[in-house]
Amino acid sequence: MPPMVSRSGMVVSPAVELKRRNKKQLRNRRRFDVAIGSTGAEIRFPAVAVPRVGWRVLSFLILAGLGFAFYWLWTAPQFSVTTDRVVVKGINRIEEEMLLDKAGILNQPVFLVDTEDLTENLPGKIPALESIDISIGLSGKVVIDAVERVPVIAWDQESISSISWVDVNGMIFPSLGTSEGLVNVRANAAPPTPPVQVSEQGLETAGQDLADAEDPGNAENSVNVNTPVQLLEPALVDGILNLSKGLPEGSQLVYDGEHGFGWQDPEFGWMVYFGKELDQTNLRLKIYTEIVNMFENKERKPILISVEYMHAPYYRMEP
């Protein structure tokens, strides 16, 4: 556009003229006239400019608010997991402090507690724990419903530093107290490894693991009581419990890596073995009783009686 010529004779550009008009309009808007009565008198007040908030300022305010809210939720004591806000049910032998320490939820915001992850992985950290269920109430209270493994056998193996417990499913775990009322077994070797279900891809690896477990040189590594592992088959556990019913008073149930389960007779001093697979335990005990009756009135006594093979029991005499 060509330059504009004002009445004063000054030449200005259209942009300057437009800016000047905007300022004039702005000055005119910054006042407010109020009439007083009907005399025509007026009072002129200056107008207050309305601030304009841009989207950047608004975004910053929203972000700052969200950050403060998140910080408050993270640090507020009413949203933190404390011992007085945790209810643990179902444990008798496991210490509550140990369970909460392994869970790792104390002093953590309650909304960060992953109940599914704890339900799946916490029993792997505490072998004496069979299963666990965790729920969080609307008030933020954490309820832990635990199921302990019930021991039935106290397993004392030479390669394990302390006595371990075994439940009815054959799972081994560290002892948590006295073994009173349990069937005590003293072992000089690891028992037969339970069968493992593996896929075709893992067959080679699993076979190597089983071979290592059966290798006498790896006896210390064949049983790890610090992680949930099956030591015995459930059927073998039942066999041990049934066999213990025929255990003479004052005798100790033992496991020998060659002959299996048995004991030393406290009256005659011989060793009796019933094998590694305790199927038909009652029949094995009857066969043993018949052999004992056979030597009752004889001067020479055997030093070993074996009922490992029910159809071919044998005894070994003193030299």
Domains, the chain, ranges and CATH?
A: 4-46 (no CATH), 81-148 (3.10.20.310), 151-317 (no CATH)
- The partner residues of 155 in beta bridges, in order of sequence, read 164, 185
d(CA 260, CA 254): 8
Q: Kindly report which listed range (27-41, 106-120, 137-151, 280-294) carries the lowest average pLDDT score.
A: 27-41
Q: Write down the pLDDT at residue 34.
A: 58
Q: Write down the pLDDT at residue 206.
A: 34
List pLDDT tens digits, range 286-306: 999 999 998 887 888 899 999
Q: Write down the pLDDT at residue 141.
A: 86
Q: Is 73 exposed, middle or buried (0-12, 13-18, 19+ CB in 10 A)?
A: middle
Question: CA dist 306 to 232, 313, 314, 315, Å?
Answer: 22, 6, 5, 6
- Supply the mean pLDDT for the chain: 78
Question: CA dist 60 to 16, 56, 57, 70, 218, Å?
Answer: 35, 6, 5, 15, 64
Q: What is the mean pLDDT of residues 145-158?
A: 93
Q: How is residue 36 written in tokens?
A: 């007083």
